[in-house]
Structure 1
Amino acid sequence: MVSYARWQAVPLRWKDNDVYGHVNNVVHYSLMDTVINTWLIEQGDLDVENGKAIGLCVESHCNYHGSVSFPDTLSVGLRVAHLGRSSVRYEIGMYREDREDVIAEGHFVHVFVDRETRRPVEITGKLRESLEALKVS
């Protein structure tokens, strides 16, 4: 299993299942976004409503290795693979609750920009510290 700096348990919901009886692929992207933003808000003091800087997703990808369905709980791992001046690449692994079987692996790239001008801004302060904490050697 790959190393992650942060793990979050995510219970699946009834509505996550599709007509084929498993979690639909779009849910995986939503889970990645949720786990990342939970970390940024709780640990990086990101103010999504009024902050000067916001993170825009400029790239995302997901590889699917297995299926799950409600009422399973996923164990979602998060790490930072690259931290630049204004961008960050997260890597996310979604596993069964026991962390034995990988369900999906993906990445997400945020570019932090000024809320008004939408021009890139440097990642600084508590936000940078929280992202540094997610790096795995």
Structure 2
Amino acid sequence: MVTREAPAIWRKFTTRWADNDVYGHVNNTVFYQWFDTAVNAWLVEQGILDVRNGDPIALVVETRCAYFAPLAFPQDVEVGLAIAELGRSSMRYRIGVFASGDEQAAAQGDFVHVAVDRASRKPVDLPAEWRTKLEAIRA
């Protein structure tokens, strides 16, 4: 399980009323939204991802999530991420979702991007500048 020491990058979210499902906790699909937002916001901030004009682009090819504790509205959430693996064209992020201030993750997931040519959608080698920034947050 991911603990607070593992992630290199942090992003805060506040749960919304609409995030709760009929069972009174944040629905599993919201966790994937947090993954997507945390990863892609960091990529954009680093100048790695230009969603409108960049080439290459990064496409999600795999996700998974394990849940350990419920989260619910109203609650602040902290999402931490680090690079777990770097391949020739891929990067696997390890992501932990924490209730604000908690030491143990409420959920842990993996999120895999593959760098692809914008037009052909065929995998390409990670650009050197991407690899340098991704290595900096490797767990």
Runs of 4+ in 1 over 6 A off after TM superposition: none
Count of equivalent residues: 136
Tell me what 2:22 maps to.
19
For the pair 1:8 / 2:1, whether they are aligned, the reply is: no
For the Cα contact (< 8 Å) 1:8–1:77, is it kept in 2? yes
Matches within 5 A, 1:7-86: 7-86=10-89
Q: Partner of 1:119: helix, strand, or coil?
A: coil
TM-score normalised by structure 2 residue count: 0.92
Q: TM-score, normalised by structure 1?
A: 0.93
Does the aligned pair in 2 maintain the 1:87–1:110 contact within 8 Å?
Answer: yes
The answer to whether the 8 Å contact 2:49/2:58 transfers is no
Residue type of the alignment partner of 1:130: K
Contact 1:80/1:91 (8 A) holds in 2? yes
User: How far has the Cα of 1:102 moved from its partner?
Assistant: 1.6
- Cα deviation, 1:14-69, whole Å, max 9, x if unaligned, reads 11111111100000111101100011000143101111111111111000001111
Distance in 2 (CA, whole Å) between partners of 1:12 and 1:127 is 31
CA distance in structure 1 between the partners assigned to 2:36 and 2:50 by the alignment: 15
Q: Secondary structure at the match of 1:127?
A: helix
Q: Deviations over 1:89-132 (max 9, x none)?
A: 00000011003232100001111100100111111143222211
Unaligned runs of 5+ in 2: none
List aligned pairs for 1:105-120, cutoff 5 A. Answer: 105-120=108-123
Alpha-carbon distance in structure 1 between the residues aligned to 2:47 and 2:83: 14
Secondary structure at 2:82's aligned position in 1? strand
Native 8 Å contact 1:40 1:130 kept in 2? no
CA RMSD for the aligned pairs? 1.3
The residue that corresponds to 1:127 in the other structure is 130
Q: What whole-Å deviation, never above 9, does each CA across 1:68-87 have from its counterpart, x for those lacking one?
A: 11111111110001111210
In structure 2, distance between residues paired with 1:99 and 1:135: 23
Greater mean deviation of Cα atoms: 6-15 or 108-117: 6-15
Gaps of 5+ in 1: none
Is the Cα contact below 8 Å between 1:44 and 1:126 reproduced in 2? no
Percent of residue pairs bearing the same amino acid type: 49
